[in-house]
Amino acid sequence: MATDDTTYRWVKDGALGPGRMRYGADYNPEQWPREVWDEDVRLMREAGVNVVSLGIFSWALLEPRPGEWDFGWLDDVMGLLHENGIDVDLATATASPPPWLAKRHPEILPVTIDGTTLWPGSRQHWRPTSPVFREYALRLTRALAERYADHPALVAWHISNELGCHNLYDFSDDAARAFRVWLQDRYASLDALNEAWGTAFWSQHYEEWDEILPPRAAPTQRNPGQQLDFERFSSDAVRDHLRAENAVLAEVTPDVPRTTNFMVAQNVRDIDYASWLYDVDFVSNDHYLRPGELGRDDLSFWANLTGNLAGGRPWFLMEHATSAVNWRAVNPPKRPGELVRDALTHVGHGADAVCYFQWRQSRAGGERYHSGMVPHAGADSRVFRDVVDLGAQLQALAPVTGTRREKARVGLVFDYESWWVSGRDSHPSESPAYDDETLLWYRALLDLGVRVDVVPIAADLHEYEVVIAPMLHVVPAALRDRLTAFVSAGGHLVTTYFSGVVNENDHVWLGGYPGALRDLLGVTVEEFAPMLPGETTALSSGTVVRDWAERISRVEADVEILDTYRDGDLAGAPAVTRRQGGRASGTGSASGSATYVSAAVGREGARALLQRLAADVEALAGDARAADGAVEVIVRADERGRYLFLANRTDDAVTVAASGELIGGAATSDGATTTIEPRGVAVVADGLSVRS
């Protein structure tokens, strides 16, 4: 994770803050006649908008023919926005190439796993490894940077847009050549590559580098090591494009902060954003709410992870939706109160900017049914009234800007490579999914009122008293040693089924599962026992198990059995175990422990186990202000004090004991208690000193 303040010049230099909360949207004036622009800025001022992302999909208008520039319309928009006090996060406009580029150079077009060329007519129809596309994209980037370097509206650069959203996996010949170079850099020799990929299986041994291809469509299962490295390579290839545009901007406009919008929670799961942190000056993220009751916690989970990817520093919510999206099978609108709740939940987890896609809902094109800040119905609408209300609330939250998320005592690990590998083909079961499993443990912690940080695997685990690591499938030796040291130092680890099974090359650790973690946990699993759809079993505690169970065949003498299987073929066998670990050096604190959950116990089972562990692990005791799990407690703080964000997780009003000044949200306070409206968030300045 990033730790150097120079990588967050947004906060350090104040280009986008602190001092006022930033509020706005993607703005696409090129979709509208000139007379609409004046109405746009009038409504922006009414709503409190003070920043927009501009020019994201404008390449075809900025360069209508190769090397011929038309900046006149963009000059007009930049000037109009500046005159009305609205700053610009200016895009490099390289996200979607113009038709003439694909016509002249069809070799820039991506190729799918089965050899299908992806043609123009949508967006992101370019190969991340195409040298031809790179040349044209950098030429445009330089032209924009040179023209607008000193423009007073410019406060940040927006590099491309949602990099890798639709073109992450390209199987073209360009990708094949770049993949080989990447592999040579990683392995140096074919002997090392053959060992890492296990090519002795199915006669896959390589003798020449140019024999190696991307994992294109094949008769049956493709090589797991090849797939994993191609995932790593593809993430790095898109990152390399980010760095190339970044370098041009840094050369021409070194004092203008640069970012790109991550998609930490969206459909691109195969980008390791933790590796991108030093390539941006501040973290930005796009997030779209999952509809239904689950969505509240899902939004919080990914916002929490984004805040911790940013190292606890403020970050930029670049995109979310005012109401419905257009790309799910069914796209319900947001319920009353949800627009403000979603925004303030992100702010609680560290966002100092709240922006939407997009300002004005499109009348044409593929996203015309995606909601905007100004909907098709116009300003006289519930959505726009909520937008104006949120703008006023964000202005009142100016004192929060620049503060950091206060670190929790419990960390929940999220590991991208375990996400990638655990969901692959040819495994014992296709259920459950890694992201669903981590989310259910997060929800169980919130149910108990426990404040938790969702952290990438590279986080310093010693900053936490408890670490929850569900389905930590990929465990290299170095990670095994880190987890062992954490427990030896007095930390409490909880991990679950299908953890520790493979190393960094997707090779199985031998000797029994959970492989790399077997000695730490003190148990040996003889075989997995995944369950067919509709099957269930139960534990002695009454917890119902679906999808996954394991046969623990050996338990060390110092391991406590917390629960057993009650019925079926595993009746009487250990299901949940706990091994006491070391003692924090010189502190006299309680010894650490390592708990293993061999079954898919679900949210209720996870909650029951954590509640049991809380008897001697005080960090799991919960916060009284969480009102028995009805409220999520989020804290931002600096040397001046703390700001509590109390997010109501229910559809009923909730009253909690929270004194202090109520400075925002859908809530009322009598000075001693705060009543939070259904689906509301209360923001309370409690004035207490920051916990050390």
- Is 319 noted as a catalytic residue in this protein? yes
550 Cβ partners below 8 Å, 6+ apart? Answer: 497, 513, 525, 527, 528, 529, 598, 599
Specify the length of the chain in residues: 692
**Catalytic-role residue among 63, 231, 245, 319:** 319
In terms of Cβ atoms closer than 10 Å to its own Cβ (0-12, 13-18, 19+), residue 690 is middle
Distance CA 468, CA 595 (A): 9
Query: What does the alpha-carbon distance between residue 84 and residue 98 come to, in Å, rounded to a whole number?
Result: 31
Q: Rounded to an integer, what distance in angstroms lies between the CA atom of residue 62 and that of residue 52?
A: 18
How far is it, in rounded angstroms, from Cα 173 to Cα 71? 35
- Which amino acid is located at 549 in the chain? A
Which of 294, 383, 409, 390 has its CA nearest to residue 346?
390
DSSP 289-313: PPSSHHHHHHHHHHHHHHHHHTTTS
Give the separation between CA 105 and CA 245, rounded to whole angstroms: 20
Rounded to the nearest angstrom, the gap between the alpha carbon of residue 615 and the centroid of all alpha carbons in its chain is 32
Q: What is the DSSP letter of 408?
A: P
Answer whether 634's CB lies under 8 Å from 345's CB.
yes
Nearest to 227 by CA among 283, 172, 270: 270
Question: How far is Cα 370 from Cα 357, in angstroms, rounded to an integer?
Answer: 8
At residue 284, what are phi and psi to the nearest 5 degrees? -125, 150
Are 533 and 508 contacting, i.e. CB atoms less than 8 angstroms apart?
A: no
SS3 597: strand
What's the CA gap between 120 and 138, in Å, rounded? 20
- DSSP symbols for 609-658: HHHHHTTT-GGGS--GGGTTTTEEEEEEEETTEEEEEEEE-SSS-EEE--
Full DSSP string of 64-130 = SBTTB---HHHHHHHHHHHHTT-EEEEE---SS--HHHHHH-GGGS-B-TTS-B--SSSS--S-TT-
Residues 6+ apart with CB under 8 A from 680: 337, 340, 341, 647, 648, 665, 666, 667
Query: Which among 546, 528, 538, 533 is positioned nearest to 602, based on CA atoms?
Result: 546
C-beta of residue 179 within 8 angstroms of C-beta of residue 230: yes
3-class SS string, 327-362: CCCCCCCCCCCHHHHHHHHHHHCCEEEEEECCCECC
Catalytic annotation, residues: 162, 319
